[in-house]
């Protein structure tokens, strides 16, 4: 490691807040980017299952 | 046989032999045929969904590994810059995000051209997926650049050519997304978005060349296609790892978004119903 300890790595000679804030924002954006389409897919399949269930109940009851 | 009686079977209708059915794709040697067959099948949402399923875990593992290795290498092991100190470490996320936001625009414009010419539904879905990811990546490039600018230039923002043209790119991506929502008719939306994406392509070379054409606070390109990078190898290596990681992540995000788009648009299709109940796409 270039830095002597983790405190120095955290502070980065005064640039720590900028560097770590940038990495934190990127991490959050990337996690959201991965999660959003997974949630959309899951909801689409849930809608299909709900519709099929409703159709089955309707045909069974009618 | 008496005259006037036509014996059954005596009449023969001669017609031209049927033409062989035209192949849906050009025939050639085995390899060309396979490539054309692959491109032909890409037009089918169901096939796209099924074929991309096994790619997802590989892309997820690859992009995750590259990003973790590149980030740890860049943050903790790369030497500091002799002039900028440690603030330059933002380059390891700023440059890869800017790279994929520009390359992603070309992909979006190409998908727009395909959807405009051949009216393939899947290419419009690719266009919409590219717009969402591209907007997020451009946002990342702008925000990280702004944070990097404060300790380096003494300001969060400056209206110079590179930064302003990147902001235009961000608005182009958002514009495509907004335009897609604006139309009830999907075909009209696809055409309008494709035209906007193609017209916006003119911005990309401007972004690339802005640091050469105008006086700018932004530093010139660190990595060039022609010539060696202007960075020490100890700094360039983690940067290349991060760029590879961002490209893999982009591919993963594109597939995930495309698949969710396919499911949303094909909700009424039999194969999606089967997928929802059995968890498998029928062959």
**For residue B141, how many other CB atoms are within 10 A of its CB?**
25
Per-residue pLDDT of A31-62, as tens digits, reads: 999 999 999 999 999 999 999 999 989 888 65
Range A1-22 average pLDDT: 86
As a whole number of angstroms, the distance between CA B261 and CA B1 comes to 73
- Residues in A whose CB is inside 8 Å of some CB of B read 1-3, 9, 12-16, 18-19, 21-23, 25-26, 29-30, 32-34, 36-38, 40-41, 44-49, 51-52
Q: Who's near B191: CB < 8 A, 6+ residues apart?
A: B115, B116
User: How confident is the model at residue A6, as a pLDDT?
Assistant: 84
Which residues from B are below 8 Å from A40, CB to CB? 260, 263-264
User: How confident is the model at residue B1, as a pLDDT?
Assistant: 43
User: How confident is the model at residue B21, as a pLDDT?
Assistant: 56
**For residue B46, how many other CB atoms are within 10 A of its CB?**
18
User: How confident is the model at residue A62, as a pLDDT?
Assistant: 53
Per-residue pLDDT of B56-83, as tens digits, reads: 999 999 999 999 999 999 999 988 888 8
Q: Who's near B269: CB < 8 A, 6+ residues apart?
A: B45, B46
CB neighbour burial string for B199-211, b if at least 16 within 10 angstroms, e if fewer: ebbebbebbeebb
Measuring CA to CA, which residue among A37, A55, A26 is closest to residue B125? A37
Which residues from A are below 8 Å from B97, CB to CB? 26
Q: Who's near B190: CB < 8 A, 6+ residues apart?
A: B115, B119, B124, B127
Shortest CA distance from A7: residue in chain B = B76
Q: pTM of the entire structure?
A: 0.86
| ipTM at complex level | 0.91
User: How confident is the model at residue B39, as a pLDDT?
Assistant: 78
User: Residues in chain B with pLDDT < 70?
Assistant: 1-28, 224-228
CA distance B88 to chain A (A): 8
User: How confident is the model at residue B217, as a pLDDT?
Assistant: 76
User: How confident is the model at residue B90, as a pLDDT?
Assistant: 94
Average pLDDT value over all residues in chain B:
87
């Amino acid at each position: 490691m270039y830095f002597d300890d983790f405190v120095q790595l955290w502070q980065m000679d005064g640039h720590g807040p900028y560097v770590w804030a940038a990495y934190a924002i990127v991490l959050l954006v990337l996690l959201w980017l991965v999660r959003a389409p997974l949630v959309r897919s899951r909801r689409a399949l849930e809608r299909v299952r709900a519709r099929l269930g409703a159709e089955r109940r309707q045909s069974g009851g009618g | 046989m008496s005259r006037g009686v036509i014996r059954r079977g005596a009449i023969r209708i001669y017609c031209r032999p049927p033409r062989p059915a035209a192949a849906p794709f050009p025939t050639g040697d085995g390899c060309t045929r396979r490539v054309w067959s692959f491109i032909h099948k890409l037009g089918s949402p169901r096939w796209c969904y099924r074929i991309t399923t096994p790619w997802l875990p590989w892309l997820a593992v690859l992009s995750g590994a590259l990003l973790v290795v590149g980030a740890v290498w860049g943050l903790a092991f790369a030497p500091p810059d002799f002039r900028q100190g440690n603030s330059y470490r933002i380059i390891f996320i700023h440059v890869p995000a800017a790279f994929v936001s520009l390359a992603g625009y070309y992909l979006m414009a190409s998908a727009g051209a395909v959807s405009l010419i051949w009216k393939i539904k899947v290419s419009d879905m690719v266009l919409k997926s590219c717009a969402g990811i591209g907007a997020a990546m451009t946002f990342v490039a702008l925000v990280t650049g702004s944070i990097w600018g404060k300790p380096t230039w003494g300001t969060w923002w400056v209206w110079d050519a590179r930064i302003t043209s990147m902001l235009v790119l961000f608005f182009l991506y958002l514009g495509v997304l907004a335009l897609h929502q604006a139309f009830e008719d999907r075909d009209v939306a696809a055409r309008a978005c494709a035209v906007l994406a193609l017209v916006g392509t003119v911005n990309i070379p401007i972004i690339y060349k802005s640091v050469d054409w105008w006086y700018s606070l932004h530093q010139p390109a660190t990595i060039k296609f022609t010539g060696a990078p202007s960075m020490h190898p100890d700094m360039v290596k983690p940067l290349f790892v991060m760029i590879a990681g961002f490209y893999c992540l982009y591919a993963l995000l594109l597939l995930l978004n495309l698949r969710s788009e396919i499911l949303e648009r094909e909700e009424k299709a039999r194969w999606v119903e089967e997928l929802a109940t059995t968890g498998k796409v029928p062959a």
